[in-house]
Amino acid sequence: MNEAATSKEREASEIEEVDDLASSVEESLAETDHEEIDARPYALQSESERKAVVEALIYVSDEPLSAKSIAEVLKDDQETIEAAVVSLAEEFNRRAGGLQLREVAGGWQFATRPEYHEHVRAFLKSRPSAKLSLASLETLAVIAYKQPITVPEILDIRGVQSPSSIKTLLDKKLIVAKGRKETVGRPMMYGTSKEFLIQFGLKDLSELPSIEDFQDLAGNVV
Amino acid sequence: MDEISEATEPKLANDGGPATINVAGSTPELVPDHTTDDLKIVMGEFEGPLDLLLHLIRQEQVSIYDIPVARITDQYLRYLHLMQELDIAVAGDFLVMAATLIELKTRMLLPRDPFAAAEEEEDPRKDLVDQLLEYQKYKAAAQMLWSRAVVERAVFKRAEIETDKNNPEVVVGVFDLFKVFQEILARHKEEVLLEIEREEISMAEMLETLRNMVMSSGEVNLRTFFERARSRRELVLAFLSVLELVRTTQITLIQQETFGDILARVSS
């Protein structure tokens, strides 16, 4: 009977908590109705509140979110935000949970850890997406390292024509046209896109290992 | 974890299934074909002449910095021959390389100019070796990209939130626009075709038409009847109707002179 009484009390206090929260949300919503959202500064009370807000923003963003964008929205200093994100990432990733907070394509993003991909895939009932052919991968590698580059220049390196590779890469939005080269024929030049960074998990192009690192000593097999 | 260690292996094509084709080259082997009694040759699949050359260099266990041109050229040509015999289409680039190699081979056979200083002479193989080394780097880079992609595919982002769809910004490139235009053109073409089909006459209708024509005017010139056909299909149906009505003895065909017009008349 005493148990029943306390659990009823707990329920009542929970309901009250939600009520209070609802009122405060409604209040702040009501305020924003009357003011220009852009002009309103967000007064962040503390370091931990800043990190919490940054975390929430990164979560709802459907694309990798840069510190710059966050700073703009919060009308905060970019360096402060950057420090906050880095600190947040360290804390978050130290947790060694199923999620990671990582930097990709110039922004920050939450994603599952690769170790658990099988379970996630089973849950999502998703099949692995179509993989790129070796020809397309080679073409992509050449473009990634030598951008902007024209098709004849790619041919010189690969020694073989592959017009379907270019088309495939364009279709998958991994490469984009980057203007024309001012030489005879004004051929189109290509470079990699943001989607490329995302699909290959790169922060930015500098994260690619130097091409000289691939100077394979397997040239000398004997 | 297994998938990630697999990432270091250059097997890109069939994963799981009987791997008869290994990408990035492999030594051709003879394997028994289980369905017939023949021996099959399993050849590597090469991404181009440079890829094949690299494979041959490795197979012959020679140094890329000192390629025995005669030997490598012979091997290379043997491969091309084999591909052609097996009816595998050989891309033009392979033939260009064959020509290059043959030229290189002859150049290596020529005696050196006795009047030129020994150090000045450039190794005629230099260009090819440079190209091979360069290509090799990008081949390895492609491998690296593949590994990264494998890991990335194992990483998932959150599911959609309703506000995602409200994002009106669509990054569209010139090629997207062009593709859309192509699709519209293709669809337009398809639509026109559909209209023609709806007006197509059926066999029964054609029979009826012919029968009525013959009944009402007593005789029908087959040439004029066939000329009414608006498509090849209708022409075929017209011809078949004539045959059918003759077969069921509803009409008879008359030709008054050799190679003259054929008339269809009601059977008496």
* ipTM field: 0.76
Cis ω for the linkage preceding B18 (within 30 of 0): no
Do the two domains A44-128 and A134-212 of this chain adopt the same fold? yes
Instruction: Give, for all 222 residues of chain A, the pLDDT tens digit.
Output: 566 677 888 888 888 888 888 888 888 777 766 555 555 556 666 888 889 999 999 999 888 999 999 998 888 889 989 999 999 999 999 998 999 999 999 999 999 998 998 888 888 887 777 788 888 999 999 999 999 999 999 999 998 887 888 999 998 999 999 989 888 889 999 999 999 999 898 999 999 988 888 876 544 432
Claim: this prediction has a pTM higher than 0.90: no
Count of CB atoms situated within 10 Å of the CB of A218: 12
Is A199's CB within 8 Å of B152's CB?
yes
The token pair at B120 is 């000045």
Chain A hits for B67, Cβ within 8 Å: none
B145 vs A137, A161, A219: nearest CB: A137
What residue spans define the domains of chain A?
Answer: 44-128, 134-212
Chain A residue with minimal CA distance to B165?
A62
Q: Could you name the CATH architecture of A134-212? A: Orthogonal Bundle (1.10)
Query: What fold does the segment set A44-128 form as a domain?
Result: Arc Repressor Mutant, subunit A (1.10.10)
What residue spans define the domains of chain B?
Answer: 2-111+122-153, 203-266
Is A62's CB within 8 Å of B167's CB?
yes
Low-confidence stretches of chain B (pLDDT beneath 70): 1-45, 87, 116-121, 162-176, 188-199, 259
pLDDT value at position B13? 36
pLDDT value at position A8? 82
A137 vs B146, B152, B158: nearest CB: B146
pLDDT value at position B262? 81
Inter-CA distances, A71 with A51, B219, B245, Å: 12, 91, 86
Q: Identify the CATH homologous superfamily for domain B203-266.
A: Structural maintenance of chromosome 1. Chain E (1.10.10.580)
B41 touches chain A (CB under 8 A): no
B97 vs A142, A159, A170: nearest CB: A159
For the stretch B30-78, pLDDT in tens is 555 555 555 555 556 677 889 889 988 888 888 888 889 999 999 899 8
pLDDT value at position B141? 92
What angle do the packed helices B92-109 and B126-153 form, to 10 degrees? 150
Q: List, in sequence order, the alpha helices (H) in chain B.
A: 2-6, 49-59, 69-85, 92-109, 126-153, 174-198, 203-217, 222-227, 232-247
pLDDT value at position B198? 52
